[in-house]
Structure 1
Amino acid sequence: MAVASPFVLAVNRFGLGASVSSGALAGDARAALKAEMTPPDPLADLPPTPVLMQQLEVYQAARRDNRKAAAAMPEMAEDMAPEKPEMMAEGKGKKQARQMDDAPDNPRRRVFIDELSARYDGSLRTPVIGFNERLVMFWANHFAVAVNRSLPVGVLAGAYEREAIRPHIFGSFTDLLISVERHPAMLMYLDNHQSIGPNSRANRKGQRGLNENLAREILELHTLGVNGGYAQADVTSFAKVITGWGLDRKAGDFGFNANQHEPGPQTVMGKAYAQGGQDQGLAVLKDLARHPATAKHIAFKLARHFVADVPPPSLVEKLSQSFTRSDGDLKAVYEALIDAPESWNPQPAKIRSPQEHLIAMIRASDAKMKPALVATTLKAMGQPLWEPPGPNGFADTADVWASPEGLSTRLEVANSLSIRAAERLDARELGDSLFGPSLSETTRTAIARAESRSQGLAILFMSPEFMRR
């Protein structure tokens, strides 16, 4: 494979892939990346969490009414099946509920399409490089939630990214962490809104339980890392600290319920926290954000995501030192990533994830895809939007994405896009525009020998230059 130029590396390794708006494949690559270290499009035209929560409440109330109406038809049920009227009523209620789930006014379906459209028809197409959007994708996967977890999380997943992640990716990691952990989507995804302190006022009868999900994932995934030095006792203590962190149903947003909060001091990672109420959880989060293990964990994940599946230890150390020295200033960490020579190995070492590959093909071909088609395509490729297999997000290494089945599906998608774009695009010209001299002779020859324009485009989209970054 041909050696990629610095600007081609910048667009592909750190960005979303070249597009018509990328301009000439030349210039100061590092400066171009730093110029994109500005807040990404806030997508402010989409409804905020309180509005979505209100819409969800209306929908759920209508759903409950349908169930009640179906259950209140004993005469009809008795006439048709007198031996089991209750089963028939229940079945009718479930059928009507399923019909509502499939209806266009289902908020999860409607909101998801709107959120997806705002990105795939807007914010992912417009940047020259797309470094800021790649960082949004990185952090959304680091602090993963899943739309299939529940109806509320499905409705709020896009708002969660817009409100908790996008505004903070160039700020303090502490602020990002607090914003994420207090968002209703995260609290409901990991069930913290149901967590009750064993000795809280809400648990006087001792019949309600402590939920450790959020505490465990904050320690293991969001901050310290799996080898970060915490023990099960720290998980339990931290879970008690954040009891009461839940939802204000009236406001439709984060709320602290003092009745659910476990009273008294707690010890986490060897430090006692005597603060009362919500401040106790904030104090723990601030210390976790500044912990040396967190610096190493974040540094490793950033280096692995952008540079190599097994990143150079020297690069990880540079990013970790920058994180610690700047007190978690993420912009300083990204600058260290861009400035490090280890980040600019001219041989691409990463394979694009399915989502990155689809975005790159859309940007390169300027293809127009309906949001519903984008959603089904991502699902077929194995990386449905905001639907990771677990709280640890989607994998970030080639061994997961480079399977025969996965590559076969990518080829089908590449063929489909190529057929639609072949009338207006020539693969040879597009290859030169996207990669310049970096496009290898092997790929050029394969494109030249293609039996059709669409086949030539598909070969380009599946070439090592396009698949790797």
Structure 2
Amino acid sequence: MAIDAAIAMNRFGLGARAGTAAPERPARWLLDQLGRHDPRPPAIAALPPRSELIGAIRDLRQDRQQRRSMEEDKPADDAAAAADRDLNNYRTAVRGQYVAAVDARLGVALSSDTDFAERLVHFWANHFAISIDKIVTVGLAGNFEFEAIRPHILGSFADLLKSAIRHPAMLLYLDQAQSIGPNSLLARRIGARSDREIGLNENLAREILELHTLGDRTAFTQEDVTEFAKAMTGLTVAGLGRPQLQRALGTDKSPGDAVFADALHEPGNRMIAGRSYGGGGALALDRILDDLAMHPATARHIATKLARHFVADDPPAPLVARLEAVFLKTGGNLPALYKALVEAPESWRTPVAKFKSPWEWTVSALRALSVTDFPGRAQAAVGLFTQMGQPVWRPGSPKGFGDISADWAGPAALMRRVETAGRFARLAANRVDARQLAPAILPGTLGPLTAEQIARAESPEQGLALLLVSPEFLRR
């Protein structure tokens, strides 16, 4: 059926492209893409590795500290002005890394023929959300998606979880890198020499329990959060140049490596989500993460989010139950979960229910128009997604961007799409006929009213703009 092809290309993919034949076997077409997923396409492989990015952060921090020490005797106003200059220099340096990463992400999305896999990358990057609102993560945000998420979307959920939370961007964003056990060896040494308070940070522990794994707050307590935070002390980032920390870590670590420093770890046994973990240290943390990854509440949480993202804002209960069962039966095997999702009858029902986010709409619009490049694409893309209300890797909280219609379908947001549709139409109006494009990218879902409005458009440009803001195109 033509409508199944449209669902495959738009609901599961990133949008149909003109001149590309609709798949004859949509479900098989989607699953075959997983076998061709490239975790390091050329645009991404060309970007700096995390060691270089962390090295840049370390060097900028050291320069800033040196200038501060040199200006200690200057008036307060001069010192404040110098601090502002340092911060601006830092922002300028890391912004270039961010812009390049956004451009690579967009370029891969526009050109990919494995766009189901690309959508899964974006889904998981939003599940394990970080934000460039914290300046230390600006240069690392793209690397987080490219190194922590992309290579692990076809493995187990446990491996994906561990990869995400051990990336320096996550450890820095949620302050895990500075969490030190109050009774750890290093805390006792520092406390013996000064009055400086050494404290536990619960941010990452809380978000892992609440957002990344269990989800259901009835499945854990505040005491679980605190105990988990204690179990995680020692997990930090190598190469940031703190002398005492580096001595504790040793000198054989590459910048950006996640490392477990026993000298920072809070000793003792832990009880988390009803299970006891003795001995402490890195091995105990690994067991905790494995158990959280396979907890029944985690299975339900992940099944619900997948069904909500791909099928409906209010996901069908039978679909959620089947996905949950597959998750538990296979040990959190992600390809098995995707297969169950694609083969579920609920995934192919109409009417099309999901409203596209700004990222989804923009990518699908450019793919439909066969636009892979445009003037100043890198800088323009950053500004465009900010203007559209979904700046790349900048959700308002660790919860990530919203995934239901109410998050994106407000009047002001729709007006921004109308304005942007006009700009996109001008890029392609001299080579694309909306009357021919519409049925090709929306097979079986193009309504007669939209087709009539496009046919009556006063110009090719207006016809394309009408297509891009039609109800059929706004949904997937």
Match of 2:89 in 1: 100
2:374 matched to 1:394?
Answer: no
In structure 1, runs of 5+ residues without a counterpart are 75-84
Match of 2:217 in 1: 227
**2:300 and 2:324 in contact (8 A); partners too:** yes
Match of 2:100 in 1: 114
- The equivalent position to 2:323 in structure 1, one of 294, 319, 325, is 319
The Cα RMSD (Å) is 1.8
Alignment of 1:343-362 (within 5 A): 343-362=347-366
Change (3 A) 1:196 1:417: same
List per-residue Cα deviations over 1:302-342 (Å, max 9, x = no partner). Answer: 00000000010000011001101100000000000011101
List per-residue Cα deviations over 1:245-279 (Å, max 9, x = no partner). Answer: 10112521211121110111111111110133111
Match of 2:247 in 1: none
- The equivalent position to 1:19 in structure 2, one of 17, 20, 24, is 17
For residues 228 and 23 of structure 2, the distance between their equivalents in structure 1, rounded to whole angstroms, comes to 50
Shift of 1:415: 1.0
- The equivalent position to 1:33 in structure 2, one of 30, 34, 54, is 30
Change (3 A) 1:11 1:50: same
2:412 matched to 1:410?
Answer: no
2:184 matched to 1:194?
Answer: no
Match of 1:134 in 2: 119
2:371 matched to 1:374?
Answer: no
Match of 1:304 in 2: 308
**1:240 and 1:262 in contact (8 A); partners too:** yes
Quick check: 250-259 or 371-380, which moved more? 250-259
Quick check: 324-333 or 368-377, which moved more? 368-377
Match of 1:90 in 2: 79
Quick check: 381-390 or 52-61, which moved more? 52-61
For residues 304 and 435 of structure 2, the distance between their equivalents in structure 1, rounded to whole angstroms, comes to 38
- The equivalent position to 2:206 in structure 1, one of 209, 216, 230, is 216
For residues 452 and 227 of structure 1, the distance between their equivalents in structure 2, rounded to whole angstroms, comes to 54
Change (3 A) 1:222 1:437: closer
Match of 2:439 in 1: 432
Letter in 2 for 1:97: D
Q: What is the DSSP-based 3-state SS (H/G/I as helix, E as strand, rest coil) of the residue aligned with 1:255?
A: strand
Match of 2:151 in 1: 167
Change (3 A) 1:6 1:244: same
Give the count of matched residue pairs.
449
Shift of 1:56: 2.3
Letter in 2 for 1:128: D
Shift of 1:16: 0.1
Letter in 1 for 2:345: P
Shift of 1:182: 1.1
Match of 2:244 in 1: none
**2:14 and 2:360 in contact (8 A); partners too:** yes
Match of 2:129 in 1: 144
Shift of 1:382: 0.8
Shift of 1:61: 3.3
For residues 458 and 260 of structure 1, the distance between their equivalents in structure 2, rounded to whole angstroms, comes to 57
**1:10 and 1:129 in contact (8 A); partners too:** no
List per-residue Cα deviations over 1:401-434 (Å, max 9, x = no partner). Answer: 0000111111111111112221111111111221
Match of 2:249 in 1: none
- The equivalent position to 1:251 in structure 2, one of 243, 251, 254, is 254
**1:191 and 1:214 in contact (8 A); partners too:** yes
Q: What is the DSSP-based 3-state SS (H/G/I as helix, E as strand, rest coil) of the residue aligned with 2:359?
A: helix
In structure 2, runs of 5+ residues without a counterpart are 240-252
List per-residue Cα deviations over 1:375-396 (Å, max 9, x = no partner). Answer: 1111111110000000010000
Match of 2:367 in 1: 363
2:338 matched to 1:337?
Answer: no
Q: What is the DSSP-based 3-state SS (H/G/I as helix, E as strand, rest coil) of the residue aligned with 2:441?
A: helix
Quick check: 85-94 or 257-266, which moved more? 85-94
For residues 228 and 466 of structure 2, the distance between their equivalents in structure 1, rounded to whole angstroms, comes to 52
Change (3 A) 1:118 1:189: same
Structure 1 runs of 4+ with >6 Å offset: none
For residues 68 and 418 of structure 2, the distance between their equivalents in structure 1, rounded to whole angstroms, comes to 45
**1:67 and 1:96 in contact (8 A); partners too:** no
Letter in 1 for 2:135: S
Change (3 A) 1:95 1:288: closer
List per-residue Cα deviations over 1:91-124 (Å, max 9, x = no partner). Answer: 4413532552464xx1x21111221121222x11
**1:19 and 1:128 in contact (8 A); partners too:** no
Change (3 A) 1:41 1:182: closer
List per-residue Cα deviations over 1:43-70 (Å, max 9, x = no partner). Answer: 222222112111222233344455566x
**2:60 and 2:90 in contact (8 A); partners too:** no
Letter in 2 for 1:7: A
List per-residue Cα deviations over 1:27-53 (Å, max 9, x = no partner). Answer: 000000001113334222222211211
Match of 2:227 in 1: 237
Change (3 A) 1:68 1:413: farther
Q: Percent identity?
A: 43
**1:25 and 1:435 in contact (8 A); partners too:** no
